[in-house]
Amino acid sequence: MAALRARITAGELLPGSRMPSRAVLVREFASTPTTVQAAINRLIAERLVVTQPRVGTFVSADATSLRTYGVVFAGFPLNQPPDNTFLSMLASTCAAQQALGARLTLYFGVTGHADEPDYQRLRDDLRAHRLAGVIFTDFTTQWLTQALWALFPAPGVAFTSFESAFPVLHTDDAVFFTRAVEYLHGRDCRRLAVISSRADATIAGFVPLLASYNMELPPHARLCHLTVASQADFFDPVRKYAYLLARDPALRPDAMILWDDSYLDYALDGLTMAGLRPGDDIEIVAHCNFPLARPTAWPIQRLGYPVPHFLTRAIELLDRQRDGDDCPPASFIDPLFEEEYLRQVERTSLTRATQRRQSPPRVPAPPAGAR
């Protein structure tokens, strides 16, 4: 059964093609007709093959495992993604199966320990060739390469900016920062502050770009990548930093980039406590994972990444690997402003509505024996 499934998922037996006869399989595997039929029955149950009476057994035209992908979440316990984050949006999008018509199997709390239930499930699914590829949503994938891929290789994609054994898919910091600065420059802003989860060296690297826009980002106006015991410990420093920065007229910026959606509410609290007027005293560009854009009383500009785009792009990369095509070692998702994202959603909705209207009505098949 595993050998036949592997041939189907690898494309050796193509959708719609006839399966080898039972007699051929009995000889090939030195097995018995009963065992061969049991294996075929399992593949039929998985919708990998179909049997047509008096005609034969064929690979399904819609072989399920050819469109089943694993999505591995290593950073939080079983089925409990943190709220209001990229991972929570990704998990809910996966659960809705909104990725190119694919089936997505989710694995939570996978850190490489053999006693983890979802690690065991992932191992078994890879061994049985039930997955056309695997998407890793966290940074640590090397252990999986060592523990699993040597035995059960499959296409993979990792959502990380670090080096990986698989093609990586991530955001381009330079494009995000450049687009944010261009917007703020168009609003006549000159003094910038940044609150970010990126390293200070990353932010400092953009200072020459700001000079070309006649903008400045002094060292005291960068709050970056604090080392804390937990993410929650970061929130109060963010509030205090925004308050102290905005309270002092000598330090106060006229623009701010909030480069992590987790910090948005806390930074806005600090600015409000300092008495700033939204939209008048300071312009804000805030990172966002669309469609997760929580409403605020501040007229801020959202710039971020549609989470479903990560899934569709990842599946495209997995399919290219499975088809034997070359894949770039790194691919990027482009940031969009909120109005760009909404226009894109509207265009997609209109396209789907047009396709539904143009689709011919489904005519039921005539009863057996009817002329």
CA proximity to 106, closest of 117, 51, 115, 114: 117
pLDDT at 367: 45
Residue 65 scores a pLDDT above 80: no
Q: Is the peptide bond before 308 cis (omega within 30 degrees of 0)?
A: no
The whole-number pLDDT of residue 212 equals 93
Mean pLDDT on 236-251:
89
Residue 62 has a pLDDT of 65
Kindly report the average pLDDT of the chain as a whole number. 81
Q: Taking 80 as the threshold, does the pLDDT of residue 76 lie above it?
A: no
> Are the CB atoms for 14 and 59 separated by under 8 Å?
yes
Q: Is the pLDDT of residue 139 over 50?
A: yes
Residue identified by tokens 């489904």 is 362
pLDDT of 134 over the 70 cut? yes
| Domains along the sequence of the chain with CATH | 2-62 (1.10.10.10), 65-166 (3.40.50.2300), 173-305 (3.40.50.2300)
Place of tokens 């059964």: 1
Comparing 25-29, 223-227, 252-256, which segment has the lowest mean pLDDT?
223-227
Q: What is the pLDDT of residues 264-280, one digit of tens each?
A: 888 999 999 999 877 78
Name the percent of the chain lying above pLDDT 70.
81
pLDDT at 97: 63
**Is 3 exposed, middle or buried, given 0-12, 13-18 or 19+ CB atoms closer than 10 A?**
exposed
Average pLDDT over residues 141-155: 66
Strands 255-259 and 192-196: parallel
pLDDT in tens, 151-185: 667 788 988 877 777 889 988 889 999 999 999 99
Mean pLDDT of 131-140: 79
